[in-house]
Structure 1
Amino acid sequence: MLVFSFHHGLQAQVRSGYVDLTYAAERSVNAVTYIKTEFVQKNSLWDDFFSGSFWEEFFGSAPSMYPLQAAGSGVIVSPDGYILTNNHVVEDAVKVTITLYDKREYPGTVVGTDPKSDLALIKIEETNLPYLEFANSDSVRLGEWVLAVGNPLSLHTTVTAGIISAKARQLSSYRGKNSEESYLQTDAAINPGNSGGALVNTQGKLVGINSAIASGDGYFTGYSFAIPSNIAKKVYMDLKQYGKMQKAYLGLSMIEINAEVAKEYNLSEVKGIYVADVDEKGAAMQNGLQEGDVILSIEQHPVNSFAEVLGVLNTKSPGEIVSVTYMRDGEKKTRKITLLNENGTTDVITK
């Protein structure tokens, strides 16, 4: 039996009580590529220590560079050969080779990279390629079915299924640094080689670029993360046009509000983001935000975490105007703020 369920204008097929994912799988596998990279590794400290010693009399000098290879996945996002992947897939690569679903191979040119979002754009010289359309990742809901498509563990063109487990996730606890990302979390299996591959919805549209797993040994343990498509689309457009991400900033330091913070700063609700400091040359101060304000929403998106703030800002460009709603002295206010770049201007930053 075949029935159709409609939700928010999206059509999903359900056969005999389960969601039919065949359309999404068949549509997406053609637009996901295998990426092989080559790079060079300098001698280790061990090699440096023994260079010039009597070992060289017997074995000769070790080469100063070692050729190495790595692999990942990519997503074709335009018919003329633009491919999105993770920055860590192509970082420091001296050669990039793209293999399509039909086994055709092409040399790839890295157009630009954005380490902060862990995204990179590659170009191959070809036309009329199958590609994936960007979905609106803001519309993705918890529990929604998704497919992860990539090349894990050298198993080319593998499709796994799962649901959206969480939105606006940060990985600072896993990466040991301040996170600049706002991830979608899924339980679709992702392993080494999936990096840069596609996370698609039941319509076969791109909702994210698979990027990371939470694991002690580097293999799937039930938690995977993808860069939302709205952020990926912004990075794609910027790298294509400018070769560099045009990142927008509010110019302030924030504190996530919990019960302890609310008590310390005498806040009436455990809600929003507390403004701890404002940059004198930043967008926030220039447009009237002050230390002690509590930001409730940006562009009508409620914000209660750094990741939720970044999830909005990382889709914006310097010069864009955003609506910020905040509390000050018990009164709710809204201001229009013109976002600035890292230099405090709206100028385009090039390579």
Structure 2
Amino acid sequence: MKRTWLHWGAIGCGAFFALYAAQAFASGTSGDAIALEARKIEGEVYVKASSLVAALGGKGSFDPSTNTYRYVPGDVVPDVIEQVGDSVVAVIGKPQGSPARASDRFELAHGSGVIVSSDGWIVTNAHVIESMKEIIVLTQDEKQYKPTKVLRDPASDLALLKITATGLQAAKFADSDDIRPGETVIAIGTPVSFSLRNSATVGVVSGVNRSVNGSYRLLQTDAAINPGNSGGPLINTKGEVVGINTLKFVDVSVDNTGFSIPANTVQYIAEHLRTYGQVKRAYLGFELEESWEAVVGLATNKPMTVLWVDPASSAAKLGVKKGDSLYSLNQKKLSTKVDLNEELKHYLPGEKVTVTMLSNGDIVQRTLTLQAHP
């Protein structure tokens, strides 16, 4: 960490000092602006020492004999791991269809999870529990719980488990729309072996808005994600969950290319599962095909083409037909299926939306009633 000289201001025991190089201290953070308590005296800005420590971590002390303040920056990663550790759980169970032979009695499947509420709701990946029976949730203090509810949403690869517990440390979630490539992130989970639970790896956000064989956008990271990390959190340097780790590319020539479900999608899915027991996805009533540019990941403004229309849908009654093109939904331009799915997260079946389409050579607007996704 770069040394920074601080100019002391004589304002009594309040310990205010001039901060000439706050950027040097803030280099361990995600780069967001930090609001600190301060005063301006004779043209100099003096920042309260306790505000600095609260915002950036570390330790500080004032020596009245020399009228100096000594600040020792904290080590961000260990602090964050310690802060978030109690919110991370291990999920363990027997594989479905596991042989009943005595030699296989210790055969186990496992993954990771995150506490999302103090009363016992846990989020994990749907694929973690898809083929698991006799599920056990193990908290960091090694208490074991059998879930009383198991709710899955394979389309998003997310699931919720409910355990009978109170006073748990719920994780804090970031606004994943604000995440930028290059931010430092930490993956915590139970990789490879159940004995390695609460392991941590560090990397950066390699990319955002990735589309990888899924309904919604994903975050890409180079933090190591291994089998068993699935369902665990990807955390920023503020200790906030930015995503739930879900998959990685595996090949002899591929290194550190993992993906996480963004926090905003996690919260959307979790809220639906808790409220309705399922995700109530809205559906336009017709299927679409992307342009070749969209398929290969190129930026494009080309609209999607209608392939099939549900004859019982509002869309069919309003004249939507195969070969029409979809340009926008409620003025939001759309070029990919993932774009459409992301936009439809804001609506429920039964609500109305206005779509702009090309039909028979004319640009038309139609107000459709959304259906429940089949």
Same fold, judged at TM 0.5 (above): yes
The one-letter code matched in structure 2 to 1:280 is: P
- The CA deviation string for residues 238-295 of structure 1, in whole angstroms up to 9 with x for no partner, is 222222222221222222224699xxxxxxx941431223333335445675555544
- The yes-or-no answer on 1:186 pairing with 2:221 is yes
| Alignment-derived partner of residue 248 in structure 2 | 213
From the superposition, tell whether residues 297 and 131 of structure 1 become closer, same or farther in structure 2 (CA, over 3 Å): farther
Counterpart of 2:201 in 1: which secondary structure? strand
Distance 1:90 1:20 in 2: 33
Distance 2:178 2:364 in 1: 26
From the superposition, tell whether residues 156 and 339 of structure 1 become closer, same or farther in structure 2 (CA, over 3 Å): same
- The yes-or-no answer on 1:236 pairing with 2:270 is yes
Aligned match for 2:207, one of 166, 173, 196: 166
Distance 2:293 2:276 in 1: 43
Distance 1:197 1:232 in 2: 12
Specify every segment of 5 or more residues in structure 2 that has no aligned partner in the other structure, as ranges: 4-23, 36-54, 59-71
How far is the alpha carbon of 1:71 from its aligned partner? 0.8
The one-letter code matched in structure 1 to 2:123 is: L
Q: Report the TM-score, using the length of structure 1 for normalisation.
A: 0.73
| Alignment-derived partner of residue 3 in structure 1 | 25
How far is the alpha carbon of 1:131 from its aligned partner? 1.0
| Alignment-derived partner of residue 200 in structure 1 | 235
From the superposition, tell whether residues 127 and 88 of structure 1 become closer, same or farther in structure 2 (CA, over 3 Å): same
- The CA deviation string for residues 28-47 of structure 1, in whole angstroms up to 9 with x for no partner, is 2220101111234266xxxx
Paired residues, what number? 311
8 A Cα contact 1:150 1:195, kept in partner: yes
From the superposition, tell whether residues 199 and 279 of structure 1 become closer, same or farther in structure 2 (CA, over 3 Å): same
How far is the alpha carbon of 1:195 from its aligned partner? 0.5
- The CA deviation string for residues 111-140 of structure 1, in whole angstroms up to 9 with x for no partner, is 311122111111111111111133222332
| Alignment-derived partner of residue 31 in structure 1 | 87
Distance 1:316 1:123 in 2: 26
Distance 1:205 1:192 in 2: 23
| Alignment-derived partner of residue 119 in structure 2 | 80
Which is greater in Rg? Answer: 2
Distance 1:206 1:323 in 2: 34
8 A Cα contact 1:168 1:307, kept in partner: no
Specify every segment of 5 or more residues in structure 1 that has no aligned partner in the other structure, as ranges: 44-61, 173-178, 262-268, 344-351
How far is the alpha carbon of 1:73 from its aligned partner? 0.2
Distance 2:260 2:366 in 1: 32
8 A Cα contact 1:213 1:220, kept in partner: no
- The yes-or-no answer on 1:271 pairing with 2:305 is no
From the superposition, tell whether residues 321 and 164 of structure 1 become closer, same or farther in structure 2 (CA, over 3 Å): farther
Distance 1:245 1:20 in 2: 37
Counterpart of 1:116 in 2: which secondary structure? coil
How far is the alpha carbon of 1:88 from its aligned partner? 1.4
From the superposition, tell whether residues 246 and 100 of structure 1 become closer, same or farther in structure 2 (CA, over 3 Å): same
From the superposition, tell whether residues 149 and 168 of structure 1 become closer, same or farther in structure 2 (CA, over 3 Å): same
Aligned match for 2:162, one of 115, 118, 123: 123
| Alignment-derived partner of residue 132 in structure 1 | 171
Q: Report the TM-score, using the length of structure 2 for normalisation.
A: 0.69
Distance 2:294 2:188 in 1: 42
Distance 2:217 2:263 in 1: 11
How far is the alpha carbon of 1:145 from its aligned partner? 2.8
Aligned match for 2:185, one of 146, 166, 171: 146
Q: Relative CO higher for 1 or 2, CA cutoff 8 Å, sep ≥ 6? A: 1
8 A Cα contact 1:210 1:225, kept in partner: yes
Distance 2:236 2:264 in 1: 14
The one-letter code matched in structure 2 to 1:318 is: P
The one-letter code matched in structure 1 to 2:306 is: A
8 A Cα contact 2:120 2:162, kept in partner: yes
How far is the alpha carbon of 1:76 from its aligned partner? 0.2
| Matched ranges for 1:259-338 at <5 A | 270-277=300-307, 278-282=309-313, 284-285=315-316, 291-298=322-329, 302-314=333-345, 316-322=347-353, 324=355, 337-338=368-369
From the superposition, tell whether residues 137 and 102 of structure 1 become closer, same or farther in structure 2 (CA, over 3 Å): same
How far is the alpha carbon of 1:106 from its aligned partner? 1.8
Distance 2:274 2:78 in 1: 32
